[in-house]
């Protein structure tokens, strides 16, 4: 349950954005969450609900976009996506894959009242 | 009042990664080879470090950072062997973060060759946090059962190695060693696997020798 730490990091980024851009209120936040980010979306949402109280994002809704893992087969260079383990190349069956995407937790954008 | 969508594209772990890279840079400059040990509580991380100390110390100066939710019991065990140790008590947080390591990194003595970071006992959250280490090892003890790689894949996916501990309990406890190795390698085919027992000493020398070789390679690459 490190989702609260991640939400604290989210608010650090938003605070810096607020200082730079000078908005008063945030109404929506879009996060991209890889299926292999180690995050449980429900826990992230619960942590957000707790953390946002009495802040400039108290009325904001959290929009989570869950993205699959994207990997490249090191043997035949095929690029594939998957939602579940084990990751293996459907073309040559190799399990030696390089993960390109799907482990990230990214603040994509937010909507602010300016 | 206008509503405006502002695009950011920033990694929520970005600030941790930035500090971890600074740590890695600092540790490399000092010639300190760092190993992050992750596992469930009770799989034998502290016991493994104690046994490694018997093989490495004092010819290879080392230091230990212990992460726990409460108490400094683990650091006290390491200090009892004369080895410098720092205890980070997270007060409830389930993992160590790079900024916690950064607070004490400059206290590590000159000429230290190895830094062992014992993460908080947890197979989930520590996997997401880079601490600036050179190697990440997951420990899995025989009594925990052979299904852990499949249940906690991220820890095994992000590690370079797996240490199967308490191997002396193989026999009294039913555990399919080949199966666990196979399942761990299904998740991460490049995993280096060791089997150890801190009670009998089995496998400790091999792991210590491996670490010395890895540090040597790291020093050669830095030269």
pLDDT, tens only, B39-64: 999 999 999 999 999 999 999 999 99
* CB contact (8 A) between residue B186 and residue A9: no
**Distance (Å) from the C-alpha of residue B199 to the closest C-alpha of chain A?**
32
**Distance (Å) from the C-alpha of residue A29 to the closest C-alpha of chain B?**
9
Residues of A with CB under 8 A from a CB of B: 1-2, 5-6, 9-10, 12-13, 17, 21, 23, 27, 31, 36-39, 85-86, 95-96, 99, 104-114
Comparing B107 with B93, which gets the higher pLDDT?
B107
Over residues A36-88, the pLDDT tens digits come to 888 888 999 999 999 999 999 999 999 999 999 999 999 999 999 998 877 88
Instruction: Say if CB B204 and CB B198 are below 8 A apart.
Output: yes
Task: Give pLDDT, residue B90.
Answer: 86
**Distance (Å) from the C-alpha of residue B114 to the closest C-alpha of chain A?**
28
Task: Give pLDDT, residue B1.
Answer: 72
Task: Give pLDDT, residue A1.
Answer: 67
Write out the DSSP string of B174-218: ---HHHHHHHHHHH-TT-EEEE--TTT-TTHHHHHHHHHHHHHHH
- Cis bond leading into A86, ω under 30°? yes
Taken as a whole, chain B contains a residue count of 223
3-state secondary structure of B5: strand
Task: Give pLDDT, residue B133.
Answer: 98
A59 interaction partners in chain B (CB closer than 8 Å): none
3-state secondary structure of B85: strand
Over residues B143-180, the pLDDT tens digits come to 999 888 888 888 998 999 999 999 999 988 999 999 99
What tokens appear for B93 in the block?
């947080």
Among B1, B6, B19, the residue to mutate for chain A (most A Cβ within 10 A): B6
Instruction: Say if CB B16 and CB B97 are below 8 A apart.
Output: yes
Q: B63 exposed, middle or buried (CB, 10 Å; 0-12, 13-18, 19+)?
A: buried
Q: What is the mean pLDDT of chain B?
A: 94
Instruction: Say if CB B10 and CB A112 are below 8 A apart.
Output: no
Instruction: Say if CB B105 and CB B24 are below 8 A apart.
Output: no
* CB contact (8 A) between residue B190 and residue A96: yes
The beta-carbon neighbor of A9 closest among B4, B12, B157 is B12
pLDDT at B12 over 90: yes
Ordered structural domains, chain B, with CATH? 15-222 (3.40.50.300)
Cα–Cα dist B162/B38, whole Å: 10
Helix ranges (H only) for A1-114 are: 3-21, 41-51
B189 interaction partners in chain A (CB closer than 8 Å): 95-96
pLDDT at A110 over 80: yes
Instruction: Say if CB B159 and CB B188 are below 8 A apart.
Output: yes
Mean pLDDT of the B123-140 span: 94
- The ipTM (two decimal places) reads 0.87
Q: Is the dihedral of CA A91, A94, A100, A101 positive or negative?
A: positive
Contact residues, B window 182-201, toward A, CB-based 8 Å cutoff = 185-187, 189-190
Of A34, A35, A43, nearest in space to A84 by CA? A35
Ordered structural domains, chain A, with CATH? 3-113 (3.30.2320.80)
Q: B89 exposed, middle or buried (CB, 10 Å; 0-12, 13-18, 19+)?
A: middle
- The DSSP bridge partners found for residue B168 are none
Task: Give pLDDT, residue B201.
Answer: 97
**Distance (Å) from the C-alpha of residue A53 to the closest C-alpha of chain B?**
20
Residue B202 pLDDT level (bands cut at 50, 70, 90): very high
What tokens appear for B20 in the block?
């971890």
3-state secondary structure of B103: coil
What tokens appear for A35 in the block?
């299926």
Give the rounded distance of the alpha carbon of A64 from its chain centre: 7
């Amino acid at each position: 349950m490190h989702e609260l730490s991640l939400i604290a990091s989210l608010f650090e980024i938003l605070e810096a954005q607020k200082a730079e851009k000078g908005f008063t209120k945030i109404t929506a936040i879009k996060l991209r969450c890889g299926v292999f980010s180690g995050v449980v979306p429900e826990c992230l949402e619960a942590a957000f609900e707790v953390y946002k109280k009495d802040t400039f994002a108290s009325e904001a809704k959290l929009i989570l976009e869950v993205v699959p893992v994207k990997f490249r087969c090191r043997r035949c260079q095929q690029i594939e996506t998957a939602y579940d383990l084990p990751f293996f190349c459907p073309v040559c069956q190799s399990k030696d894959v390089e993960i390109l995407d799907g482990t990230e937790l990214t603040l994509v954008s937010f909507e602010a009242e300016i | 009042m206008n509503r405006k969508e502002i695009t950011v594209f920033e990694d929520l772990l970005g600030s941790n990664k930035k500090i971890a890279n600074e740590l890695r840079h600092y540790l490399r400059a000092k010639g300190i080879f760092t190993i992050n040990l992750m596992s469930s509580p009770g799989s034998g991380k502290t016991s493994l470090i104690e046994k490694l100390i018997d093989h490495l110390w004092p010819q290879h100066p080392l230091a230990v950072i212990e992460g726990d939710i409460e108490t400094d019991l683990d650091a006290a065990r390491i200090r009892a062997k004369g080895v410098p140790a720092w205890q980070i008590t997270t007060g409830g947080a389930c993992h160590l973060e790079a900024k916690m390591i950064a607070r004490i990194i400059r206290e590590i003595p000159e000429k230290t060759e190895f830094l062992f970071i014992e993460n908080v006992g947890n197979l989930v959250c520590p996997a997401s946090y880079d601490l600036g280490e050179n190697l990440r090892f997951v420990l899995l003890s025989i009594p925990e059962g052979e299904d852990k790689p499949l249940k906690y894949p991220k820890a095994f996916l992000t590690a370079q190695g797996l240490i199967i501990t308490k191997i002396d309990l193989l026999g009294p406890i039913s555990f399919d060693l080949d199966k666990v190795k196979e399942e761990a390698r299904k998740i991460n085919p490049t995993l280096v696997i060791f089997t150890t027992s801190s009670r009998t000493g089995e496998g400790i020398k091999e792991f210590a020798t491996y670490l010395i070789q890895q540090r040597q390679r790291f020093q050669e690459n830095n030269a």
